[in-house]
Structure 1
């Protein structure tokens, strides 16, 4: 068995070298490679990753031309990976490297295509936990994820699934969405979750909103179908209301007066139209960006990258 460990690197100049050393120690006896993908870091991460590649023969380093986002960096790493299994692990030491062996054992025992880690107690900031909860709830409906499965970033993927994922060439990759397009043979195993060794989470409010929109719109027709159903329901309600008012007016049991109600109905209808147009615009915009040939990432530096 040959193992690939993909690490998206962003502003981790103090953790990436110790993490690599720890991986080299805990995976002794395994045939493995480590792929570092620098996602446009603002600190010295690129220089340090270059030193690590020069130090270890089983480390490959790719530097992207700018910050494309975590999933784009992971997709780049998956394109470089050659292992029978590929493990994705964060660069902040919150995922214990020795738990990789637990993921491998679970995959082999259960014959799973993908194994996600789950945590008894997460050490993320409350805001990150809230964002994860929202996204996990959303993906239950949008990509068909089992309700009980937690979509963690620390996971193992079998080679056959990786080969299908890397067929994606659009600018908005969502790795978990791509996984569930390919397979439902997914397992999970509990592993420890540590506090961040350095710094703070790079997930800002804007990044979480971007992720939410990507999952909500980019990987499912569920939102637009929901609005279609809502529009049909509102149209039917308006017909019934109009019929009720007409009958009441003809029978002189209802007096139709007052501009306030008319204005309220007009504003409500306008708001719904703008909301629906906004959702439709998101779909059209993503379709345009995808068909325009915008790449998911651009490699700036790599000895053997593609």
Structure 2
């Protein structure tokens, strides 16, 4: 069967919402021929059994279950690899993105964009998530040359050409928005509603956010290495100047030497840590660390 749109849903601990979400999607998009692709990212609740019931109820639903928790971006990559329609929209499993807003994205991409991002009229995340989003926006603007006024929501739609470019990435550490932005500059953005989370708490912890930033830092930009080179050059020049001044003035002693040694050691440790991250990610990719591993599919 040929579909107009693939709706990709990464699911994690969403047993109480996923059934209602799929039902709402089919209701709101009844004017389109859609397929729904659900990827269970090794949930710890009854998500898998609920999704199996959904598959039995709807012919146009595909379900894939992963063997371990790989993360949201990896689950989305799995969904995109199995989406067949000319367009694919990515929507979270918690109803914060209302299904009827998919229509806005679908209508916008018909204007000829390769991808359409959503922005929120009013964000209903908690203060921590909003603060993290603000910081994330600053980081991405510098690291991957993202336009400052472009908000990177996970609620996006892309055309087939962009999907095909994104899924060419076979590394273990994908970042969907980064892959999209390095594939095309032909993007649009629309304002959509953002609702309160219906069940549970956000899966975004400090640990996951730090891992996300490190992923972006290491896998999608070489600027940290350039900064290290620049900082090393500036530090050398400043240190040389200070040493000359201290020597001329006859100021120094063991205390100054020890402080300078500790400072140098701290800088070296930071630089070695960043280089180690690059080498570690390259090593894991070279050794075939999987992007995701399927346990079952329906």
2:284 match: 289
Residue 187 of structure 1 aligns to a residue whose secondary structure is: strand
Change (3 A) 1:60 1:257: closer
CA contact under 8 A between 1:2 and 1:31: conserved in structure 2? Answer: yes
Q: Distance in 1 between matches of 2:255 and 2:157?
A: 59
What is the match of residue 167 of structure 1? 168
Deviation at 1:175, TM superposition (A): 0.5
Listed one character per residue, the Cα deviations across residues 132-162 of structure 1 (whole Å, up to 9, x for unaligned) are 2221211111111110010000000111000
Matching residue within 49, 60, 63 for 2:62: 60
- SS of residue matched to 1:132: helix
Rate the CA distance shift 1:268–1:42 in 2: closer, same or farther, 3 A.
same
Cα distance in structure 2, aligned partners of 1:215 and 1:196: 26
In 2, the alpha carbon distance for the partners of 1:257 and 1:174 equals 50
SS state at 1:279 partner: helix
Distance 1:96 1:75 in 2: 22
Aligned equivalent of 2:273, options 271, 278, 282: 278
**Is the contact made by 2:11 and 2:38 (CA closer than 8 Å) also made in structure 1?**
yes
Structure 1 position 125, deviation (Å): 1.4
Secondary structure at the counterpart of residue 79 of structure 1: helix
Q: TM-score, normalised by structure 2?
A: 0.97
Shift, 1:256, TM fit: 2.9
Task: Please give the per-residue CA displacement for 1:98-149, whole angstroms capped at 9, x wherever unaligned.
Answer: 111100111123x211111101211111111122222121111111111001
Aligned to 2:25: 23
1:182 is the counterpart of 2:183:
yes
Structure 2 spans left out of the alignment, 5+ residues: none
Give the aligned partner of residue 227 of structure 2.
226
List aligned pairs for 1:37-186, cutoff 5 A.
Answer: 37-109=39-111, 111-186=112-187
State the secondary structure of the residue aligned to 2:244. Answer: helix
The farther-off stretch of 12-21 and 257-266 is 257-266
SS of 1:106's equivalent in the other structure is helix
- Asked if the contact 2:246/2:252 (under 8 Å) is kept, the reply is no
Show CA shifts across 1:17-76 (max 9, x none): 000000010011201100000000000000000110111011000000111000000000
By how many angstroms is 1:177 displaced?
1.1
**Displacement of 1:257:** 3.5
Does the 8 A contact of 1:144 with 1:180 survive in 2?
no
Structure index of larger Rg: 1
Shift of 1:236: 1.4
Aligned length: 296
Aligned to 2:199: 198
